[in-house]
Structures are given as C-alpha cells and as structure tokens.
Amino acid sequence: MPAGGFSGPAPSGVVFEAKITPLVVISCIMAATGGLMFGYDVGISGGVTSMPDFLSKFFPVVYNRVEDKKAHDSNYCKYDNQGLQLFTSSLYLAGLTATFFASYTTRKLGRRLTMLIAGIFFIFGVILNAAAQDLAMLIVGRILLGCGVGFANQAVPVFLSEIAPTRIRGALNILFQLNVTIGILFANLVNYGTAKIHPWGWRLSLGLAGIPALLLTVGSILVVDTPNSLIERGRFDEGKAVLMKIRGTKNVDPEFNELVEASRIAQEVKHPFRNLLKRRNRPQLVIAVCLQIFQQFTGINAIMFYAPVLFNTLGFKNDASLYSAVITGAVNVLSTLVSIYSVDKVGRRVLLLEAGVQMSISQVVIAIILGIKLKDNGNGLSHGLAIVVVIMVCTFVSSFAWSWGPLGWLIPSETFPLETRSAGQSVTVCVNLLFTFVIAQAFLSMLCHFKFGIFIFFSSWVLVMSLFVLFLLPETKNIPIEEMTERVWKQHWYWKRFMDEEDDEDRNAKKVGKISGYHNSQL
Ligand code: BGC
C-alpha cells in the first residue's frame, strides 16, 4: 500500500487516485458515533432492567417477584414479563419500520440529511427516556431511539462505503461493528457505575446515550454529502468539487465520469426491490437474509440484552451480574479485533465454521450445568459453577465476535451487485432488526418455559447455520466486488445454476449496452 495514499481499481480497470484526506478521517469518526449509538442502545437495556429502582418504578410486578425470596416462582421465570420485554424490543420494531423510510430518504435527501434525521430522533428519544415518569414515556422514547437506529444503520454504512477509497472499504465495514461492540461495553460500564446511584442511576444510564447522539447530530451537520449522492440528485458541480476534496487531488475525472454513468444506470432501475427478486440476484438475497436470521439465532442478543438478568437468575448478586456483563462486553470488543486482523487472511468460512464448533460446545456446557445444578426454586449456582458459566459465556461471545457478528454485515455488503446493493442493504438491516426484535421479545419467556433447554435450542441453530456455511456459503476473501459473479457465483456447485439464465429484461438491457458497467463505489 503506498504511504499516505490508496488507489482502487474500477471495473473498467482504471486506477483512481485517492489519498486518505481529513474528510475521510472525519467520516471514520462518523461511523464511530453511528455504531456507538447502536451498541449503546443494545447494551444499556439489560443493566437497566435489572436495577431494582427501575423495576419498582415501572414494573412493580417483576420487582416484587425478584425481591420476594420466598416466592414460588421458578428461578427461570422471575423476569418473564411482556412489558419488560417490550421495553427492550420496541426499539427494534420501530427500527425495522424506519428502514423503509430510510431507504427513501437516503436516495432522495442524501446520506448526510438521513444521518441528521437519525441524530435528531436519537436526541428526542434520549430526553424522553431519561426524564420518563411512566411506562408510556419510556416506550415512546425507545421507539424514537429505534427510528434513529433504522435511519442511522441504513445511511452510515452507505455513507462510509461511498466516501472511503476502495481498498479500505472492508476494514471500515468491520470498524462499524467494532464500534457497536465498544458501545455495548461502554453501556455495561455505565450501568456498573449507575447501579450504585439510588434512586435515579437508571436515568443517568439512559441519559448518557445523549453523548453519541449529539456527536452523530453535530457530525452530520459538519460533513459534506457523498459525491455519489450529490450526483444522484443532479448536483454535478458540487459532486465533483466534493470528490476532489475527499480524494485530495484535482485528477478525479475518470472516477467522476464513472459515478455519473453509474448514477444514470441506477436511475434506470425503476423498481430496486423488484430487481432484487430476479433469479440472478437470488443467491445474494438468500445469503443476506439467512446470515441475518442465523446471526440472531446464535442467541447472542439473549446474552447482550439480558446478561445481567441472566446472571441474576443464576444466583449472582446484582453487582456481580453487572460485573460479569462488563467482562462479556470486553471480550466482545477484543474478539472483534481478532476478526479485523484475520478476516482477509484465513477467510470468512474458516472463521464461521470454527466459531460454530466453539459456540455450540459452550452452549451445551452451559445447558448441562444449569440442567443439573440450577434448581427451579433454589438459590442459584454454587460460586465455582457460576464462574464456569461466566467463562463459557465469554467463550461463546468471543467466537461470535470474530465470526457471525462482523461477517453477518460484511458478507451481504460485499456480495450484492451494485444494481441491488442499496435495496439489499435495506433488506439486510430490516431482517436483522426483525429477528433482533423476535429474540428481545421472546427470550425471557423462552427462558421461563425452556429453562436450561434454551441453550440447547440455540446450539441446534448453530449446527444448522454451520451446515449452511459448509455447503452454501462461498468464500469471498480477496475477491474484488466486480468479479464476484465470475469468480464466485458461476463457480459454486449450487448457486451457478442461478447465473446462466437471463431474464428477458436483462437481455434487453444488454442490448442497450450497459448492465455490466456499474462502478463499484455506487452503492
Ligand atoms: C448484531 C447485534 C449484536 C452485536 C453484538 C451485531 O453484529 O447485529 O444484534 O448485538 O453484534 O456485538
């Protein structure tokens, strides 16, 4: 890699000049705040819902159950409450609804304004949550935060891939996930501190989300929109000026022309979502949808959302529960670094398959310990066994963090062809949030009914997804996006059958000449 500069080949073979300019660095910071905000929201609810002050104010029924040592309720069912689950899950339901609008605003208003909209939703959501007097305020606040997540998770990755020089696009993608994990860890640390502040510590936990929210808002006011977006909206001169600024050179004509051409072709795709359903786009669609469903069915968010509650269920005292959640959060961050380091060396499949083994073993060990030792109405686990469970949870989290965590996002982003990438991104975010919602809403009830079997349930899914990887997921390591069709799909024993037939529409498009000329920075 040339010092201080990057260059990326275009599909046409032209090499564009591109340096890492201050603007590109600012966009990295943007990614940080978008990811941090998402991670903070994921991580904060678990600790808050295990704080007695919070429970007694909003969920007195759960509070009485948890506090009443002589209660007849099963250990596994203490926290089973639809309202409590709604507090966590409403965010994801709102988020997945918002992605449909976000796809529209990302195209019509631009990436920058869409991020600004996200920031404003976040700020109002945080205010309502931190000031909540009743359950309604709390849930409405979570819904506003969810809208923020929907808009941010659509616009930030698109913004990043368009602003980044081609060669660091993959790394930036995982950087987003790294920031999600830092957000989760930060939230756990905050909860650890605020749990000691009575009776309003939970307000501080929810209110501190204002920091990443403000950063995202101010950040999106300061940065420029991407050249792709400006060109898409007919602002050619501005687009060219921005391109010169972000690439740090006046020599941008080849890239500019490709962007104009790509945008012209993209505008010809009248129905991006219908296009996504075409036969030749099916492999990528199936893989993106399956990866997102599988990512959630690893059971990761059962841990991320409810670790403190889960550790409480196991008999840890409140403080120790949060402490364990902090350890889990730290393991998550560190293991994501492993992924950044190794994903382009050992490849996606090796990471996913290795993780499959590691995840299912740790889940089965947890299930066995809980099955034999955690009595329904007893006092939780012995100290030694509880520690083994924490270690197994860390083993599970670490393997998730170097596999399904980042790759669930990376693989769709590098396999969708350019004509469907924007619509593909919406579907990816939407399916992710839908299944995150399902887990958030169902986990505490599932824990109550399945008991320790919940871990067997998730480990069975890990088996299914590992088989999927083994047979159906092609390796995409080191393959330029524009060569995916030839080098990946047409070579794959199963997916190649989707590549040889052309739709009538494609044939016509080819006649007019252009389908294969998309530029790879047009998302
Ligand atoms: C997932 C989130 C999860 C996080 C944990 C992400 O890739 O999409 O649902 O909470 O990883 O680190």
Give DSSP secondary structure letters for 446-471. Answer: HHHHHTTHHHHHHHHHHHHHHHHHHH
Residue 7 lies in a domain: no
Domain that holds residue 249: 226-268
Pocket of ligand 1 contains residue 300 by CB under 6 Å: yes
Q: How many domains does the chain have?
A: 3
Instruction: Based on the fold, state whether residues 480 and 408 are members of the same structural domain.
Output: yes
Q: Helix or strand or coil: residue 4?
A: coil
Distance between CA atoms of residues 493 and 100, nearest Å: 34
Instruction: Based on the fold, state whether residues 104 and 250 are members of the same structural domain.
Output: no
Pocket of ligand 1 contains residue 290 by CB under 6 Å: no
Instruction: Based on the fold, state whether residues 307 and 418 are members of the same structural domain.
Output: yes
Residue bearing the CA closest to ligand 1, atom 10: 301
Residue 62 sits in a domain of what CATH number? 1.20.1250.20
Pocket of ligand 1 contains residue 180 by CB under 6 Å: yes
Q: b or e along 330-363 (b: 16 or more beta carbons within 10 Å of the residue's beta carbon)?
A: bbbbebbebbbeebeeeebbbbbbebbebbbbbb
Tens-level pLDDT at each residue, the chain (523 residues): 333 333 344 444 455 677 778 778 777 777 678 889 999 998 898 889 889 999 999 999 889 887 775 555 566 787 788 888 888 889 999 999 998 898 889 888 999 999 999 999 999 999 999 999 999 999 999 999 999 999 998 888 778 777 877 667 767 778 888 999 999 999 999 998 998 999 999 999 999 999 999 999 999 998 889 898 899 899 999 999 999 998 899 999 988 888 888 788 777 777 878 888 999 899 999 999 999 999 999 999 888 877 777 777 777 777 777 778 889 999 999 999 998 888 888 989 999 999 999 999 999 999 998 888 776 555 667 778 888 888 999 999 999 999 999 999 889 878 887 677 778 888 998 999 999 988 888 888 888 888 889 999 999 999 999 999 999 999 988 877 667 888 899 999 999 999 875 554 555 555 444 433 333 333 3
Q: At 15, give phi and psi (nearest 5°).
A: -100, 120
Instruction: Based on the fold, state whether residues 205 and 233 are members of the same structural domain.
Output: no
Residue-wise DSSP of 371-423? HHH--TTS----HHHHHHHHHHHHHHHHHHHTTHHHHHHHHHHHHS-GGGHHH
DSSP letter for 5, please. E
> What's the CA-to-centroid distance between 224 and ligand 1, angstroms?
29
Distance between CA atoms of residues 366 and 390, nearest Å: 9
DSSP bridge partners of 57: none
Residue 28 lies in a domain: yes
Residue 277 lies in a domain: no
Distance between CA atoms of residues 103 and 195, nearest Å: 38
Instruction: Based on the fold, state whether residues 257 and 333 are members of the same structural domain.
Output: no
Instruction: Based on the fold, state whether residues 57 and 187 are members of the same structural domain.
Output: yes
Q: What's the confidence (pLDDT) of residue 506?
A: 54
> What's the CA-to-centroid distance between 455 and ligand 1, angstroms?
18
Residue 508 lies in a domain: yes
Instruction: Based on the fold, state whether residues 243 and 295 are members of the same structural domain.
Output: no
In ligand 1, the atom with minimum distance to the C-alpha of 401 is 12
- Predicted confidence (pLDDT) per residue in 37-69, tens digit: 999 998 898 889 889 999 999 999 889 887 775
Element (H, E) at 321: helix 318-342
Q: What's the confidence (pLDDT) of residue 198?
A: 93
Q: Are 365 and 485 in contact (CB under 8 A)?
A: no
Residue 490 lies in a domain: yes
Instruction: Based on the fold, state whether residues 200 and 216 are members of the same structural domain.
Output: yes
Q: Are 210 and 191 in contact (CB under 8 A)?
A: no
Distance between CA atoms of residues 93 and 86, nearest Å: 10
Residues 6+ apart with CB under 8 A from 383: none
Distance between CA atoms of residues 132 and 251, nearest Å: 54
In ligand 1, the atom with minimum distance to the C-alpha of 184 is 12
> What's the CA-to-centroid distance between 240 and ligand 1, angstroms?
36
Instruction: Based on the fold, state whether residues 249 and 299 are members of the same structural domain.
Output: no
Q: Which residue has the tokens 């081609």?
A: 166
Q: Are 476 and 348 in contact (CB under 8 A)?
A: yes
DSSP bridge partners of 9: 15
DSSP bridge partners of 19: 5
> What's the CA-to-centroid distance between 461 and ligand 1, angstroms?
17
Instruction: Based on the fold, state whether residues 208 and 151 are members of the same structural domain.
Output: yes
> What's the CA-to-centroid distance between 505 and ligand 1, angstroms?
38
Q: Which residue has the tokens 């599988």?
A: 294
Distance between CA atoms of residues 413 and 411, nearest Å: 5
Q: Are 363 and 462 in contact (CB under 8 A)?
A: yes
Q: Domain end: 268, 298, 329, which one?
A: 268
Q: What's the confidence (pLDDT) of residue 11?
A: 47
Q: Are 416 and 288 in contact (CB under 8 A)?
A: yes
Distance between CA atoms of residues 274 and 420, nearest Å: 9
Distance between CA atoms of residues 291 and 279, nearest Å: 19
Pocket of ligand 1 contains residue 183 by CB under 6 Å: no
Q: What's the confidence (pLDDT) of residue 13?
A: 47
Q: What is the CA radius of gyration of the chain?
A: 23
> What's the CA-to-centroid distance between 333 and ligand 1, angstroms?
11
Q: Domain end: 268, 302, 323, which one?
A: 268
Q: In the numeric block, which tokens belong to residue 240?
A: 């060219």
Residue 5 lies in a domain: no
Distance between CA atoms of residues 489 and 281, nearest Å: 10
From residue 144, give the alpha-carbon distance in Å to each of 97, 109, 116, 133, 497: 11, 20, 14, 16, 44
Instruction: Based on the fold, state whether residues 352 and 476 are members of the same structural domain.
Output: yes
The residue to mutate among 92, 304, 351, having the most atoms of ligand 1 within 8 angstroms of its beta carbon, is 304
Residue 232 lies in a domain: yes
Q: Domain end: 215, 245, 268, which one?
A: 268
> What's the CA-to-centroid distance between 143 and ligand 1, angstroms?
19
| Tally: H helices and E strands in the chain | 23, 2
Q: In the numeric block, which tokens belong to residue 22?
A: 């201050």
> What's the CA-to-centroid distance between 294 and ligand 1, angstroms?
12
Distance between CA atoms of residues 499 and 280, nearest Å: 5
Instruction: Based on the fold, state whether residues 295 and 161 are members of the same structural domain.
Output: no
Residue 380 lies in a domain: yes
Q: At 462, give phi and psi (nearest 5°).
A: -60, -35
**Is there a cis peptide before residue 406, judged by omega within 30 degrees of 0?**
no
Q: How far is CA 514 from the centre of its chain?
A: 34
Pocket of ligand 1 contains residue 177 by CB under 6 Å: yes
Q: What's the confidence (pLDDT) of residue 176?
A: 82
